[in-house]
């Protein structure tokens, strides 16, 4: 169940960024925040999430 939700959240984040006509810094920052949120909701350690998203 957790992996299913994580996969869905990550697919959603990728779909959003792929749907943009221009991928600028703001779009990338939004994408990174969505991935971070997805990982944290999947109980990945917050320190690890922050470290891999630097």
Crossing angle for the helix pair 25-41 and 2-18, to the nearest 10 degrees: 170
Say which CATH topology domain 2-52 has. 1.20.120
Per-residue pLDDT of the chain (54 residues; tens, 9 = 90+): 889 999 999 999 999 999 999 999 999 999 999 999 999 999 999 999 999 998
Residues 28, 24: Cα–Cα separation, whole Å: 6
pLDDT of residue 1: 82
- CB neighbour list of residue 22: distance below 8 Å, 6 or more residues apart: none
Domain locations along the chain: 2-52
38 contacts 3 by C-beta, under 8 angstroms: no
């Amino acid at each position: 169940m957790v992996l299913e939700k994580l996969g869905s959240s990550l697919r959603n984040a990728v779909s959003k960024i792929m749907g943009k006509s221009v991928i600028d810094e703001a779009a990338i920052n939004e994408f990174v925040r969505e991935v971070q949120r997805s990982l944290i909701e999947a109980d990945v350690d917050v320190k690890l999430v922050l470290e891999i998203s630097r």
